[in-house]
Structure 1
Amino acid sequence: MRVLVCGARGQVGYELMRLAPQWAEPVGLGSAELDITDPAAVMAVVRELRPDLIINASAYTAVDRAESESAAAYAVNRDGIGHLAAEAQRLGIPLFHISTDYVFSGDASEPYREDQPTAPTGVYGASKLAGEQVLAATCMQHLILRTSWVFGSHGANFVKTMLRLGREREELAVVADQCGCPTSARSIAQALWHLAAVCRQEGRLEWGVYHFAGQPAVSWYEFAVEIFHQALACGLLERMPAVKPITSREYPTPAKRPLWSVLDCSKGEARYGLEPAVWQEELRVMLAALPS
């Protein structure tokens, strides 16, 4: 099964290539090899490769910068997936796409289901939602996997930022009133390959939107504390920094973050056995892979 992985140099794309099963022939392209905002380039690459499946892990993910670079965010997150969707539909190729918890407003108190109303609060979330809508309207065989708070050994993320700051500072202040689900890039890649295997064996899936995120839900503050405890235990830190919980108001950012980013993953678990990974265990695997 030939699989075109777009965004292969990012966190999830890297894991998709690393964890590709034996039955798959992955072709991984980063933005330098395939600019998905260029419709002619997308058409040429897809028609040359003729993949059996496309997995799009490309995204504009600079949440704060998106507020001042909305055109760039929409070019990748909406128009880019639109180009891929159009070509996939023409050739009858299933298309998997990664989306985000930021499509929701964050004012809920129960985990978000796939069918609940979306209401993004910033440009990043709005551009990702626009991409979902274009994909659903363009390509019949589509699967959207919404996830949250992605971390991994490859690329930049919250875990690596905390490790750097933990080495540089004796005390840190971390937001404690935003709650979500840390999710490893490794577990997302495993979920996508699992879905690809089902598609390969059965010839189709129940297309649409699915949620996949780590468990249990925590605040950024609780996530940071666990990062430091584990890093200290495995020798990545020499001392435990003091961590002070603060509110979102005390840490203003250009983009408003959702206070509640918890996803209900029961649909994917019931239909395809996509059991959410325990993020503390995934964190141990990630930290073990980092140089000491």
Structure 2
Amino acid sequence: MNIIKTSIVLNRYLNTIRETNTKVTIGFIPTMGALHSGHTSLINASVKNNDITVCSIFVNPTQFGDSADLEKYPKPIEKDIEVLLKNECDVLFLPSNDTVYPNDYTQKSYDLNDLDLKIEGASRPGHFQGVCNVVGRFFEIVKPDNAYFGQKDYQQTVVVNRLIQITNSSVKLNVVPIKRESHGLAMSSRNIRLSEKGRQNAAFIYRSLVQLKEDISNLGLEQSVKKARQFIQAQKGAHVDYLLAVDSITLEPVKNMEDSKGIAVVTVVEYEGVRLLDNIILK
């Protein structure tokens, strides 16, 4: 595996490969490190379907509204390198902040059709504009054929899809299903901040989503969402930031299964001081 820290060297490396094989396909996984099995599922999907897989590790400051959250974000780079080697990643792109955002770079404000202001965006102003700036920069630098994102960050996948559309990018977005721990908790780099007991207990989030899906035939969508929210809120130490059924394209709230062609239920639960994201696709 090649570890590359500058865009100039990465461009030179990838261009040489493209010149040698004009049909080469490049897969790209942007990460902020602290890699776990959720990330490796993205890497494995890329390795399986592309000639070259590039994974970036960059803790992007523009998507953190809270500087304390940025400082607390885990950065176990040596362990991450071991994970990438084990999973046959070809290139680790490990840029500095100056490489991603050079002095002449101006932060862009993308027209995201208000997707960045809804749900998670309402709780984290500027977050998705920050995501789009860094993803846009990486697409410019890497020029991948395929990009891989996890379903766990559902709203992010919808936002990145919009970014690809408005920038007329040729990158194909591939959304990989959520990877879960054995008890059902969605895998996340933040999970290491939970106590061992808390990590086990937090499986109630996924259980509530599965039950919600089962309840729809009897209760309907609106009441099933209400029941799930009440169940989570009743768990000791749990606080529901939001739990909503939304349209899969507009992210507008949906009350009935007939109201939209695509519907997902998205939630964030704060537990032991950690914000835990999860979702389930209904159709």
Question: TM-score by structure 1 length?
Answer: 0.31
Of structures 1 and 2, the one scoring higher in RCO (CA 8 A, sep 6+) is 1
Question: TM-score by structure 2 length?
Answer: 0.31
